[in-house]
């Protein structure tokens, strides 16, 4: 096989994907701002994206907060800076780990479910059926998921922030000899509004990414069960990568470090 042809084909495929995704995102965003609004569907998606993600997001946040406290203590110990634990924990959780962990967990749980559901609807012609029933599939399927994810993710992240800090607090007070009241005072004094708000802004973007990639991969899945399987995998992988890439870009923008 001609290597140049192979490279060219790969480049064209990637470009076609980017073009189609951009078009899809544009149509979806335009649909958010035009009637009709399916309030009931948004509510149902808020439940499945937000509420039902609470256990998994809360549990991972608790573990991450605990591990973070332990690692900072051990690292800081090397030059007698172990007292910095509450400050670093709250900074790390609110700015980075809260939104990123919540984003990745929701990508695995919700992104996969969205892609599988919409993908199955696609291959069983249910999406075509929507069109024939004078219902815009983008408005009916994509918009509720996008809106719900963008609303639910900051809320989930705010909860993850609190639980994550609490995880650090537990380890610090039970294992590392910190006094609870001092730990909490240091945490509250140190955290700024920007630390928390920047994390919540990131979370909203991550929510958009997860819902968009889930819907996009579902919408363009083809070829039966295997196609739906591929769509599910692609949704999780692509949204996870995009979350991490967007995290870097957003950090650079929000903190003007570039």
Residue closer to another protein by CB (options 3, 40) is 40
Residues touching another protein, count (CB under 8 A) = 13
Would you count residue 77 as binding another protein (CB under 8 A)?
no
Nearer to another protein, 71 or 136 (CB): 136
Rule CB under 8 A: say whether 124 interacts with another protein.
yes
Q: Shortest distance, CB of residue 139 to another protein, whole angstroms?
A: 10
Does residue 74 touch another protein according to CB under 8 A? no
Q: Does 192 bind another protein (CB under 8 A)?
A: no
Q: What gap in Å lies between CA 25 and CA 19, rounded to an integer?
A: 10
Note whether 131 binds another protein by CB under 8 A. Answer: yes
Any idea what DSSP says for residue 223?
S
What is the distance between the alpha carbons of residues 104 and 110, in angstroms, rounded to a whole number? 10
Binding mask 219-258 for another protein (x = CB under 8 A): ----------------------------------------
Tallying the residues shown for the chain, one arrives at: 258
By beta-carbon proximity to another protein, the closer residue of 38 and 190 is 38
Does residue 126 interact with another protein by CB under 8 A?
yes
Q: Does 129 bind another protein (CB under 8 A)?
A: yes
Alpha helix ranges (H) inside the chain: 3-32, 39-45, 54-77, 85-92, 98-106, 112-123, 126-132, 137, 143-174, 180-190, 193-219, 224-254
Q: Which of 140, 190, 220, 229 binds another protein (CB under 8 A)?
A: 140
Report how far residue 137's alpha carbon sits from residue 179's, in angstroms, rounded to the nearest whole number.
56
- Span interacting with another protein, options 128-136, 189-197, 205-213, 227-235, rule CB under 8 A: 128-136
How would you class 179 by CB atoms within 10 Å of its CB: exposed for 0-12, middle for 13-18, buried for 19 or more?
A: exposed
* 8-state DSSP, 176: S
Is residue 109 a contact partner of residue 249, using CB atoms and an 8 Å limit? no
Which positions touch another protein (CB under 8 A)?
121, 124-126, 128-129, 131-136, 140
């Amino acid at each position: 096989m001609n290597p140049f042809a192979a490279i060219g084909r790969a480049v064209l495929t990637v470009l076609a994907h980017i073009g189609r995704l951009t078009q899809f995102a544009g149509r979806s965003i335009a649909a958010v701002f035009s009637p009709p609004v399916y309030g009931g569907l948004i509510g149902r998606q808020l439940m499945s994206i937000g509420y039902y993600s609470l256990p998994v997001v809360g549990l991972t946040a608790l573990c991450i907060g605990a591990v973070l406290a332990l690692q900072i203590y051990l690292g800081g110990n090397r030059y007698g800076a172990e007292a910095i634990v509450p400050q670093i924990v709250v900074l790390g959780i609110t700015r980075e780990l809260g939104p990123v962990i919540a984003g990745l967990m929701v990508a695995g749980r919700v992104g996969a479910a969205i892609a599988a559901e919409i993908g199955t609807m696609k291959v069983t012609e249910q999406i075509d059926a929507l069109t024939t029933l004078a219902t815009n599939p983008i408005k009916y399927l994509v918009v509720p998921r996008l809106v719900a994810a963008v609303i639910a993710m900051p809320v989930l992240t705010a909860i993850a922030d609190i639980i994550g800090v609490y995880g650090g607090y537990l380890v610090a007070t039970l294992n590392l000899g910190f006094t609870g009241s001092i730990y909490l005072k240091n945490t509250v004094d140190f955290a700024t509004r920007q630390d928390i708000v920047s994390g919540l802004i990131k979370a909203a973007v991550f929510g958009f990414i997860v819902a968009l990639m889930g819907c996009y991969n579902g919408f363009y899945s083809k070829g039966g069960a295997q196609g739906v399987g591929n769509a599910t995998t692609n949704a999780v992988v692509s949204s996870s990568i995009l979350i991490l890439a967007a995290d870097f870009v957003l950090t650079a923008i929000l903190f003007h470090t570039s």
